[in-house]
């Protein structure tokens, strides 16, 4: 695992500015886990990932990643490498349209 030394980073915190649209005084980190995981995949720094691994169970993170409805191709490749997954394991990959259509088709 890339972040296998996360236990050495117990003081790492997730940057709250990643969740600009939420009131952080009432933010429920457990309830909002899918949003947190997706946002960190898309925009997180290394320290954010350390904090995520300290906050959530590894298996819960992997299950959450598998059920994210949309990730771009770069982020899909990243999570597949990070969590040793196949693209076919990801909901965002299996629910993509097979071909993109042109405007006038």
pLDDT score at 14: 94
Tokens 């600009």 appear where? 20
Nearest Cα to Cα of residue 36 among 25, 26, 48, 23: 48
What is the Cα–Cα distance from 6 to 59, expressed in whole angstroms? 15
pLDDT score at 8: 82
- How many other β-carbons are positioned within 10 Å of the β-carbon of residue 78? 15
The distance in angstroms from the start CA to the end CA of the chain is: 44
Average pLDDT, rounded, for the chain: 89
Report whether 67 contacts 83 (CB < 8 A).
Answer: no
Residue 47 — pLDDT band, cuts 50, 70, 90? very high
Residue 3 — pLDDT band, cuts 50, 70, 90? confident
Report whether 48 contacts 40 (CB < 8 A).
Answer: yes
Residue 36 — pLDDT band, cuts 50, 70, 90? very high
Eight-state DSSP code of residue 20: T
pLDDT score at 75: 95
Question: Would the pLDDT of 97 be above 70?
Answer: no
pLDDT score at 38: 96
């Amino acid at each position: 695992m890339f972040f296998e030394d996360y236990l050495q980073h117990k003081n790492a915190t997730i940057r709250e500015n990643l969740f600009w649209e939420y009131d952080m005084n009432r933010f429920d980190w457990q309830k909002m886990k899918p949003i947190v995981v997706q946002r960190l995949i898309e925009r997180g720094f290394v320290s954010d990932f350390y904090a995520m691994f300290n906050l959530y169970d590894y298996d819960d993170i992997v299950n959450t990643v598998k059920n994210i409805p949309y990730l771009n191709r770069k982020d899909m490749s990243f999570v597949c490498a990070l969590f040793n997954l196949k693209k076919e394991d990801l909901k965002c990959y299996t629910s993509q349209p097979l071909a993109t259509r042109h405007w006038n088709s």
